[in-house]
């Protein structure tokens, strides 16, 4: 018997109707033995994700506001499924335990994690699989860094005792036993860790689209689907904002050479996107995909003879380190360096950071460009074709878009441009039309 690890995202487990589809998919292939679930997501436009409601509970607790009604809305959603599907999961006792803990003002990670926890208990009962909690398996160090090898061993040891199991996504724990979550969308990472540990034949990631599309479907109408893509290309696209799969979900699967297959719970007959080391050998299109995100700031430092001044970049990095800022890009010229940072990282401290740059680097000028979006155009085929960048820049020029920054990765697998936030969607459409349509 083979082993498939299947992770079902929020929309695939949002209610009884979706869970019925999920169950049919699992039962259709006996190899689907290890199931990772997210918390229930939105059932319709404007609905709440369980995880968001749980974070809201925490906010209320912190402000000494009543939160029981919000938690009741959460509990009711699970209860509705339990009743509608006739599952016997005995959820009331779990709700009581969580309610008791909420009185003690627990961490927001603990509260958020209960969405996945309750759902895994429920889905395990629905499928007749064992419930295996990931709290004891996914291990973080005291600083919150994932301990990859310890986690791998723990999952492998535990799952060797279970032929079939449902595991909650999104969280693990630190050495002191405190629950610790990944960043949002992190159930994808749990699925990948499980797939690696059990040496799965494939890691199936079931969601609400039939695989990776060449651009965000909320920006480009009916973008073409990507049949095959390499881990590297995918990481590039996920990192840059294509939110289908968490960017950190690629590494564990890749380490064990487990292919990742993105599938659609609402259209299980679609083959979806297959992610492997090679990707698509033949490139019908020069590019594989386009992804991006908004809200970056570019600080361009200019200093005469910078190129001969030793340690300039090191000092920049030192300042960023002092402020705990992860920079995004660092494109440089002979006498210039630009530091591209996400606004989220700057976190309202731009003036302070600029003062540090001024006093510790003594540049001749500092230019600041705010409200920048970064757009990555990614593809293995790009390096082997001449004129790819020209085509990209032309497309943007023709659409009347001003390029504020360019960074061509050394991998030659991507070109990143910075445009103003207001031009973000327009720029993605222009690039898509130029290369794909």
Q: How many Å apart are CA 291 and CA 298, to the nearest integer?
A: 19
* 300: partner contacted, choices Mg ion, ligand ASP, ligand ADP, none (Cβ within 5-8 A by kind): none
Q: Which does 242 bind (CB under 5 to 8 A by kind): Mg ion, ligand ASP, ligand ADP, none?
A: ligand ADP
Please identify, using beta-carbon distances, which residue of 11 and 297 lies nearer to ligand ADP.
11
The DSSP secondary structure of 216-275, one letter per residue, reads -TTTSSSPPBPSEEEHHHHHHHHHTT-TTS-GGGHHHHHHTT--EEEEETT-TTS--EEE
Residue 215's SS3 state is coil
Separation of alpha carbons 231 and 228, rounded Å: 10
For the bound state, the minimum distance from the C-beta of residue 76 to ligand ASP, rounded and expressed in Å, comes to 18
Distance CA 123, CA 75 (A): 15
Distance CA 190, CA 172 (A): 9
With CB under 5 to 8 Å by kind, the binding choice for 217 among ligand ASP, Mg ion, ligand ADP, none is ligand ADP
Residue keyed to tokens 């920049």: 316
Q: x/- contact string, 172-191, with ligand ADP (CB under 6 A)?
A: -------------x------
Question: Is 131 among the residues that bind ligand ASP (CB under 6 A)?
Answer: no
Q: Is 41 in the site for ligand ADP (CB under 6 A)?
A: yes
Q: Looking at beta carbons only, is 194 or 209 nearer to ligand ADP?
A: 209
Is residue 211 within the footprint of Mg ion (CB under 5 A)?
Answer: no
Q: Does 9 bind ligand ADP (CB under 6 A)?
A: yes
Q: Report d(CA 108, CA 183) in Å as an integer.
A: 12
User: What length does the chain have?
Assistant: 437
Min dist. Cβ of residue 243 to ligand ASP (A): 10
Considering the rule CB under 6 A, would residue 15 count as an interface residue with ligand ADP? Answer: no
- Using CB under 6 A as the binding rule, whether residue 168 contacts ligand ASP is answered as no
| 183-202 footprint of Mg ion as x/- string (CB under 5 A) | --x-----------------
Half-sphere exposure of 275 (CA within 13 A, CB side): 30
Could you tell me where the beta strands, DSSP code E, fall in 20-134? 32-37, 130-131
At residue 328's C-alpha, the angle toward residues 141 and 339, to 5°, is: 125
Give the number of residues in contact with ligand ADP, rule: CB under 6 A: 19
Q: How far is the CB of 246 from ligand ASP (least distance, A)?
A: 7
Q: Out of Mg ion, ligand ASP, ligand ADP, none, which partner does residue 39 contact, by CB within 5 to 8 A per kind?
A: ligand ASP
Q: Which residues contact ligand ADP (rule: CB under 6 A)? A: 9-12, 38, 41, 185, 207-209, 212-213, 215-218, 242-244
Given the rule CB under 5 A, which residues bind Mg ion?
Answer: 9, 185
């Amino acid at each position: 018997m083979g082993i498939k690890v299947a992770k079902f995202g929020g929309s695939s487990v949002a209610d009884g109707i979706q869970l019925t589809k999920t169950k049919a998919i699992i039962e259709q292939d006996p190899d689907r033995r290890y199931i990772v679930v997210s918390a229930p997501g939105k059932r319709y436009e404007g609905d709440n994700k369980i995880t968001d409601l749980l974070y809201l509970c925490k906010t209320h607790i912190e402000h000494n506001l009543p939160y029981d009604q919000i938690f009741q809305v959460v509990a009711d959603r699970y209860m509705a499924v339990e009743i509608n599907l006739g599952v016997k999961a005995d959820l009331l006792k779990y709700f009581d335990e969580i309610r008791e803990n909420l009185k003690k003002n627990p961490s927001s990670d603990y509260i958020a994690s209960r969405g996945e926890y309750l759902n895994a208990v429920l889905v395990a009962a629905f499928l007749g699989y064992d419930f295996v909690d990931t709290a004891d398996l996914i291990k973080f160090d005291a600083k919150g860094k994932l301990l990859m090898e310890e986690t791998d061993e723990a999952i492998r040891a535990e799952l060797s005792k279970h032929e079939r199991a449902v595991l909650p996504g999104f969280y693990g724990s630190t050495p002191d036993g405190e629950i610790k979550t990944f960043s949002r969308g992190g159930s994808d990472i749990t699925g990948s860790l499980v797939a690696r540990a059990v040496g799965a034949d494939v890691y199936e990631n079931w969601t609400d689209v039939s695989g990776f599309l060449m651009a965000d479907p909320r920006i480009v109408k009916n973008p073409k689907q990507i049949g095959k893509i390499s881990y590297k290309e995918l990481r590039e696209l996920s990192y840059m904002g294509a939110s289908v799969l968490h960017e950190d979900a690629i590494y564990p699967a890749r380490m064990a050479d487990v292919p990742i297959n993105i599938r659609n719970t609402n259209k299980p007959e679609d083959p979806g996107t297959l992610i492997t080391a090679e990707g698509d050998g033949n490139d019908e299109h020069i590019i594989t995909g386009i992804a991006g995100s908004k809200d970056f700031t570019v600080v361009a430092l200019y200093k005469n003879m910078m190129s001969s001044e030793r340690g300039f970049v090191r000092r920049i990095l030192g300042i960023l380190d002092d402020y705990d800022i992860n920079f995004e890009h660092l494109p440089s010229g002979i006498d210039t360096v630009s530091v591209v940072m996400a606004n989220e990282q700057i976190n309202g401290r731009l003036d302070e950071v600029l003062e540090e740059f001024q006093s510790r680097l003594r540049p001749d000028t500092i230019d600041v460009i705010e409200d920048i979006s970064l757009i990555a155009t990614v593809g293995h085929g790009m390096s082997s074709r001449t004129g790819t960048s020209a085509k990209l820049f032309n497309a943007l020029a023709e659409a009347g878009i001003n390029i504020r920054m360019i960074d061509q990765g050394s991998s030659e697998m991507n070109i990143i441009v910075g445009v103003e936030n207001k031009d973000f969607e327009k720029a993605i459409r222009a690039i898509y039309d130029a290369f794909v349509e």
